[in-house]
Amino acid sequence: MADAKRPLPNPNEYDTREFWAATKEQKLVYQQCDHCGTVVFHPRRHCTGCLGNALSWREAAGTGTVYTFSVVRQSYHPFFRAQVPYAVAWIDLDEGPRILSNIIGVADPAKDVAIGQRVTVVWEPHEDLSIPLFRPA
Amino acid sequence: MARERSAAIVGIHEYPSRDVEGTVSPLQIKAECAAKALADAGLAWRDVDAVYDASEGGPMSGLSICEYFGVKPNVIDTTNVGGSSYEYHAAHARRDIAAGKARVALLTYGSTAHSNAFAIGVGGRGGGGVGPADNMESFTGMTLVANYAMVARRHMHQYGTTSEQLAEISVATRLHAMRNPEAVAAMTALEFLDIRETTIADVVNSRVIADPLHLLECCMISDGGGAVVIAAPEVARDCAKPPVWILGTGEATKYPENGGDITVSAATQSGPAAFAEAGVRPSEIDIAMIYDSFSITVLTILEDLGFCPKGEGGRWVAGGRLRFDRPKDGPALNTDGGGLSSNHPGMRGIFLLIEAARQLRGESCSQVNGAKLAVAHGNGGMLGSRHCAGTVVLGRN
């Protein structure tokens, strides 16, 4: 499976298409409610804090903290099994959203990734969008 | 103290084989289990007036399963919340019976996950849907094990929990499995290596699948199925076996939230509701049938159900407290051998009810003498992202 590729998001998915469109310009965006201030993430068309839908898109700085992570040692996916071991992490962006991604750019993910670690976004470009990955800050 | 006795489990059957080698279908497993559970109760197909189905056999199962069985129920419920579906079905059956809508409810499950090489347990990819949440997550290669492993990692960070403490779950469960001939046959059929009681060292020295979870902390991938018959008091009185009463139930969801605590499961919501309705405290529970997809699932849920304070689960389980032969120290855990070592075809929730009923009838291979109260807690979906919880408190006559 030499040509196995990372599974990419659907850029036309109704709730997340604006998020993925912004990644083309390597912008990491999230929504905040104009009315009640709730940070909404993953993206949606409605506010989960109030009954409104006046959500504004904001650009995140791309920095955050590792909330938790795991190092995958075994995968049956044709792309990911060639990547093991790799780190998957929930990352708390400084603006509030918690995003799932990979921590890359470390020699040994089991030793070089930690809860509380500061990380910053790095972009993996594709034709229609870019994938937000993170490396130690 | 409610302890209202409005519905009881009166019939049970667990499909004995965990590797059907492609010889039977999930529907055939469901029908065979249904017939045997009805026979166990001393009832017949014609008595069934309510059917609960998680649609694992195909779409529109509320119609198709009734035709397949040859029943014409008055109540049809196709709640599907993954592995916790059967705890929801039990709750709904009790509610429907108490409301006078039905007298005899039939719950069934059938799966050939092993024969189909279905991707669960250590093989699960995680995610897989097409909704907005999946569209934000599937690019990461988060496997099913990694999803749960991230809960374990955070639990270790927040509370000092160790792999050795988590291994207690696997060791107690395997001890019970070795006493259950069907579980031993299952591990044999699924080609487990070196089938025997395990030690803490065995578990923590088994290979890491997704840090910090090891192979022996992960459930098996089996074929299998089962059936449960739930009946009204006036039916239960005349059934072949003693009734196992449904005393309280609870349902809840949990999903990722910005700033949320991943170590807390939906059991914190479903558990207190079920215990309060039953008028029972966790400390009174003899048998804890808790969905053991992975070791961390059990540890988290034990805490969230209130068996010990949040974060103290690791220290609480240490030393073998969960074994069936230490009833004074706390509940016996997964006395059939659990999903870790007996039966996990994808949605294990029905077996939690079945083994709880066996214990309260006095029929378990690892019988706790005088067991009076049990809790069955199903966790459907994925612990580290989004899941449903169903808690059912059960009591004997």
Q: Which of B119, B139, B211 sits opposite A70 (nearest CB)?
A: B211
pLDDT given at position B2: 46
Residue A86: its chain B contacts at CB < 8 A?
141
Residue A76: its chain B contacts at CB < 8 A?
119, 123, 125
CB neighbours of residue B179 within 10 Å = 17
Residue A95: its chain B contacts at CB < 8 A?
none
Q: What is the CB-side half-sphere exposure of residue B224 using CA atoms within 13 A?
A: 28
Is A5 within the bounds of a domain? no
Q: Evaluate whether A90 touches A102 at the Cβ level (below 8 Å).
A: no
Q: Which of B123, B135, B146 sits opposite A88 (nearest CB)?
A: B146
Subunit contact A72:B143, Cβ cutoff 8 A: yes
Counted across chains A and B, CB pairs separated by less than 8 A come out at: 117
Subunit contact B141:A99, Cβ cutoff 8 A: no
pLDDT given at position B130: 72
Subunit contact B150:A89, Cβ cutoff 8 A: yes
Structure tokens at A16: 């997340």
Inform me whether the pLDDT recorded for A2 exceeds 70: no
Beta-bridge partner residues of A31: A40, A57
The Cα of B72 is separated from the nearest Cα of chain A by a number of Å equal to 41
Q: Which of B131, B132, B141 sits opposite A80 (nearest CB)?
A: B141
Inform me whether the pLDDT recorded for B350 exceeds 60: yes
Q: Kindly indicate the confidence band of residue B128, based on its pLDDT and cuts at 50, 70 and 90.
A: very low
Subunit contact A73:B211, Cβ cutoff 8 A: yes
Subunit contact B136:A14, Cβ cutoff 8 A: no
pLDDT given at position B197: 98
**Domains in chain A, number:** 1
Structure tokens at B224: 């299998």
Is A8 within the bounds of a domain? no
Average pLDDT (A82-108) is: 97
Q: Kindly indicate the confidence band of residue A126, based on its pLDDT and cuts at 50, 70 and 90.
A: very high
**Cα separation, A4 vs B216, whole angstroms:** 30
Subunit contact B125:A76, Cβ cutoff 8 A: yes
Give the residue among B4, B3, B8 at the shortest CA–CA distance from B239: B8
Average pLDDT (B142-148) is: 97
CB neighbours of residue B374 within 10 Å = 29
Average pLDDT (B347-359) is: 98
pLDDT given at position B337: 98
Residue B240 CA, chain-centre distance (Å), reads: 25
Average pLDDT (B46-62) is: 94
Residue B150: its chain A contacts at CB < 8 A?
68-70, 88-90
Secondary structure element (H or E) that encloses residue B104, with its range? strand B104-111
Average pLDDT (B372-391) is: 98
pLDDT given at position B389: 98
Beta-bridge partner residues of B196: none
Residue B279 CA, chain-centre distance (Å), reads: 22
Cis previous bond, A42, omega within 30:
yes
Q: Which of B122, B139, B258 sits opposite A7 (nearest CB)?
A: B139
Q: Which domains does chain B carry?
A: 8-116+221-396 (3.40.47.10)
Helix (H, G, I), strand (E, B) or coil at B32: helix
Q: Kindly indicate the confidence band of residue B121, based on its pLDDT and cuts at 50, 70 and 90.
A: low
Inform me whether the pLDDT recorded for B151 exceeds 90: yes
Q: Which of B139, B142, B146 sits opposite A8 (nearest CB)?
A: B139
Q: What is the CB-side half-sphere exposure of residue B327 using CA atoms within 13 A?
A: 15
**Cα separation, A29 vs A14, whole angstroms:** 16
Find the radius of gyration of the CA atoms of chain B: 19
pLDDT given at position A1: 47
Give the residue among B357, B397, B19 at the shortest CA–CA distance from B182: B19
**Cα separation, A65 vs A114, whole angstroms:** 9
Residue B125: its chain A contacts at CB < 8 A?
75-77
The Cα of A106 is separated from the nearest Cα of chain B by a number of Å equal to 16
Q: Kindly indicate the confidence band of residue A110, based on its pLDDT and cuts at 50, 70 and 90.
A: very high
Cis previous bond, B212, omega within 30:
yes
ipTM of the modeled complex: 0.97
Phi first, then psi, for residue B90 (nearest 5°) are -65, -40
Is A4 within the bounds of a domain? no
Is A124 within the bounds of a domain? yes
Q: What is the CATH number of the domain that holds A52?
A: 2.40.50.840
Subunit contact B141:A71, Cβ cutoff 8 A: no
Q: Which of A44, A68, A100 sits opposite B140 (nearest CB)?
A: A100
Find the radius of gyration of the CA atoms of chain A: 16
CB neighbours of residue B100 within 10 Å = 8
Q: Evaluate whether A87 touches A71 at the Cβ level (below 8 Å).
A: yes
Subunit contact B151:A101, Cβ cutoff 8 A: no
Give the residue among B241, B242, B247, B233 at the shortest CA–CA distance from B375: B247
Subunit contact A6:B139, Cβ cutoff 8 A: yes
pLDDT given at position B127: 46
Give the residue among A81, A74, A83, A72 at the shortest CA–CA distance from A113: A72
Is A3 within the bounds of a domain? no
Residue B91 one-letter amino acid: A
Subunit contact B130:A10, Cβ cutoff 8 A: yes
Q: Kindly indicate the confidence band of residue B397, based on its pLDDT and cuts at 50, 70 and 90.
A: confident
Average pLDDT (B179-189) is: 98
Helix (H, G, I), strand (E, B) or coil at B323: coil
Is A97 within the bounds of a domain? yes
Structure tokens at B332: 């016996």
Residue B385: its chain A contacts at CB < 8 A?
100
Residue B201's contacts (CB-CB under 8 Å, 6 or more residues apart) are none
Inform me whether the pLDDT recorded for A133 exceeds 90: yes
Give the residue among A37, A45, A41 at the shortest CA–CA distance from A28: A41
Please tell me which residue of chain B has the smallest CA distance to A69: B150
Inform me whether the pLDDT recorded for B1 exceeds 50: no
Structure tokens at B222: 């089996």
Structure tokens at B154: 């955070």
Burial B138-171 (b: 16+ CB within 10 A, else e): bbbbbbbbbbbbbbbbbbbeebebbbebbbbbbb
**Cα separation, B129 vs B365, whole angstroms:** 39
Subunit contact B212:A96, Cβ cutoff 8 A: no
Q: Which of B135, B210, B257 sits opposite A70 (nearest CB)?
A: B210
- The whole domain housing A53 covers 17-136
CA angle B383, B386, B389 (to 5 degrees): 70
Give the residue among A74, A65, A76, A71 at the shortest CA–CA distance from A86: A71
Average pLDDT (A20-45) is: 97
B135 touches chain A (CB under 8 A): yes
CA angle B283, B297, A106 (to 5 degrees): 140
Subunit contact B141:A102, Cβ cutoff 8 A: yes
Rounded to the nearest integer, the mean pLDDT of chain B is 95
Is A114 within the bounds of a domain? yes
